[in-house]
A and B are shown apart, each in its own frame.
Chain A
Amino acid sequence: MSTETAEVKEKKPAEALFSKRRRRIVSDPLNEDNPITVQVLGICSALAITIKMEPTLVMSIAVIAVVVFSNLFISLIRDLIPGRVRIIVQLAVIATLVTLVSEVLKAYYFDMYKVLGAFVGLIITNCIVMGRLEAFAMANKPYDSILDGLGSGFGYAWIILVVAFFRELFGSGSIMNFKVFDAIGWESFPTNGLMVDSIGAFMVLGILIWVQRAKTGYVEH
């Protein structure tokens, strides 16, 4: 008997796990609707932590974790959240997750905790996270929200990693703390102090946005 009911349920056209629409939820923020280069969100942290690649990588993972889980959590309770206090609820959820990330880093990755310091705490103020909650998780199902979180998180991650790659390469002459120029025998490589400064991040980011918009043909409305 029970098998029959199960069969009936399966006949309903359930959306495929990776349907075209869902693939777009993930892929859009990676390029055409990138949180940093197109929506221009989360710029502060993109400038602050991209001096070297290693902290940038940890920061990326932290942001991905926070945006995915806060999206999931908010989406799960989206029908329970009273509209009038929804922003505070979102903020509370983000702040909790960020504190958890920070505590875990402190317990198991102390060196990185010291390097990133306040910046992990400042994920709370990263507009990307809150933007996704307000614009997506409040109105969509949990699974879609996870995908959206992954898309935005990775969209943020790859941009700051690219920025960090160039800043570390030209600013410190290394990649992931590996001295590339020493390794190829060019020990007198002049490192560029500008790249270590936030101005360097603006420049790299600007070039990145230019290249991307030249390719996608995106124009500000």
Chain B
Amino acid sequence: MQRSNTYIILFSVALTVILGGLLSLASVGLKPAQQKQIELDTKKKILGAVMDISSYNDPNAILALYDEKVESMIVDINGDEVTTDQKGNPVTAEKVDIQKNYRFPANERLFPVYKFKEDPSSDKVDAYIFPMFGAGLWDWISGYMALENDLNTIKGVAFDHKQETPGLGARITSEEVQSRFVGKKVFEGSELVSVSMVKGEGNAGLTEHQVDGMSGATLTGKGVNAMLQSYLGYYESYINKVKSGNGKVALN
């Protein structure tokens, strides 16, 4: 059916306004729920790096648990605590966008540190959790690595990704793959060597710095290795400070 140009333009405008309005409404209406999901997801991952939280089904219980057991702080590349951003505004670790920071040169980035305490009233930190960010095969990957109190043994890891292939690279988010990191060491003596996923799956005779790889997802594994290597490097000064008993940092 032929219609005048005016009709077509008016029709297009009306349709755009209606559909656009609908999308805006949905976006505004769903925003609080989405933000809560993202916050919950972040805190779940931080906790998930140190403990099994699969028995917690209630989102509020997870948030409460987080508030109780996790303390956070931010350090810079030299391992010194940072409390304000470059403009002098106070910053909190949970609000630091690792992805955004990733775009800055490493010496300008903020590096959050999460300290997990089994007993919140004591000074003893049971695990240090470091957020990380890097490139996978198709898009970004991110992760949290929890180190034991000795700052050498891996207590747990929690990875996330944007676009890795389900069933292949996306397996880095599975419990099965993440549990392979537990107990591995990141230091050899005082030298940082990180851990790395090897090629192929079902490898025998792995050292304490090697993790069994994922069949069909070697490139995602390489991305994970690069991310761990670089971020452990960024946190190395902080780790060394804590280790050498630079008390203030360790205890606050």
**Interface positions of A (Cβ within 8 A of B):** 48-49, 51-52, 55, 80-85, 88-89, 92-93, 96, 99-100, 103-104, 106-108, 110, 114-115, 117-118, 171-172, 193, 196-197
Within 8 Å by CB of A110, from B1, B2, B23, B38, lies B38
- Asked whether, in the complex, the Cβ of B11 is within 8 Å of the Cβ of A52, the reply is no
Residues of A within 8 A of B160 (CB): 114
Known: A82-B8, A83-B1, A83-B2. A115 touches B166 (CB 8 A): yes
- Asked whether, in the complex, the Cβ of A83 is within 8 Å of the Cβ of B37, the reply is no
- Asked whether, in the complex, the Cβ of A96 is within 8 Å of the Cβ of B22, the reply is yes
Known: A110-B37, A196-B216. A85 touches B8 (CB 8 A): yes
- Whether B12 is near chain A, meaning CB under 8 Å from some CB there, is yes
Within 8 Å by CB of A106, from B23, B30, B40, B167, lies B30
Q: How far is the CB of A185 from chain B (nearest CB, A)?
A: 19
- Asked whether, in the complex, the Cβ of A100 is within 8 Å of the Cβ of B3, the reply is no
Q: How far is the CA of A103 from the CA of B23 in the complex (A)?
A: 9
- Asked whether, in the complex, the Cβ of B167 is within 8 Å of the Cβ of A171, the reply is yes
**Total contacting residues, chain B, CB less than 8 A:** 31
- Asked whether, in the complex, the Cβ of A197 is within 8 Å of the Cβ of B22, the reply is no
- Asked whether, in the complex, the Cβ of B11 is within 8 Å of the Cβ of A172, the reply is no
Q: How far is the CB of B25 from chain A (nearest CB, A)?
A: 10
Residues of A within 8 A of B51 (CB): none
Known: A83-B2, A100-B23. A52 touches B163 (CB 8 A): no
Known: A49-B166, A100-B22, A106-B37. A82 touches B216 (CB 8 A): no
- Asked whether, in the complex, the Cβ of A99 is within 8 Å of the Cβ of B167, the reply is no
Sample of 10 further A-B pairs with CB below 8 A, known A80-B11, A117-B162: A49-B166, A52-B167, A85-B11, A85-B12, A92-B19, A96-B22, A103-B30, A108-B37, A110-B37, A114-B160
**Interface positions of B (Cβ within 8 A of A):** 1-3, 7-8, 11-12, 15-16, 19, 22-23, 26-27, 30, 33-34, 37-38, 40-41, 160, 162-163, 166-168, 170, 173, 215-216
Residue of B nearest to A119 (CB): B166
Instruction: Give the residue among B26, B38, B173 with the most A Cβ atoms within 10 A.
Output: B26
- Asked whether, in the complex, the Cβ of A196 is within 8 Å of the Cβ of B168, the reply is yes
Instruction: Give the residue among A55, A83, A100, A118 with the most B Cβ atoms within 10 A.
Output: A100
Known: A96-B19, A115-B166, A193-B216. A82 touches B30 (CB 8 A): no
Within 8 Å by CB of A82, from B1, B168, B173, lies B1
Instruction: Give the residue among B38, B40, B166, B215 with the most A Cβ atoms within 10 A.
Output: B166
Q: How far is the CB of A115 from chain B (nearest CB, A)?
A: 6
Residues of A within 8 A of B27 (CB): 103
Residues of B within 8 A of A117 (CB): 162-163
Instruction: Give the residue among B19, B33, B41, B216 with the most A Cβ atoms within 10 A.
Output: B19
- Asked whether, in the complex, the Cβ of A82 is within 8 Å of the Cβ of B7, the reply is yes
Residue of A nearest to B168 (CB): A196
- Asked whether, in the complex, the Cβ of A106 is within 8 Å of the Cβ of B8, the reply is no
Instruction: Give the residue among A80, A83, A89, A103 with the most B Cβ atoms within 10 A.
Output: A103
Residue of A nearest to B4 (CB): A82
Q: List 16 A-B contacts (CB under 8 A).
A: A52-B167, A55-B166, A82-B11, A83-B2, A83-B3, A89-B12, A92-B19, A99-B23, A106-B37, A107-B30, A110-B37, A114-B173, A117-B162, A193-B216, A196-B168, A197-B168
- Asked whether, in the complex, the Cβ of A118 is within 8 Å of the Cβ of B163, the reply is yes
- Asked whether, in the complex, the Cβ of B8 is within 8 Å of the Cβ of A52, the reply is no
Q: How far is the CA of A84 from the CA of B26 in the complex (A)?
A: 30
- Asked whether, in the complex, the Cβ of B166 is within 8 Å of the Cβ of A104, the reply is no
Residues of B within 8 A of A85 (CB): 8, 11-12
Residue of B nearest to A79 (CB): B1
Q: How far is the CA of A106 from the CA of B30 in the complex (A)?
A: 9
Q: How far is the CA of A96 from the CA of B24 in the complex (A)?
A: 11
Q: How far is the CA of A172 from the CA of B168 in the complex (A)?
A: 11
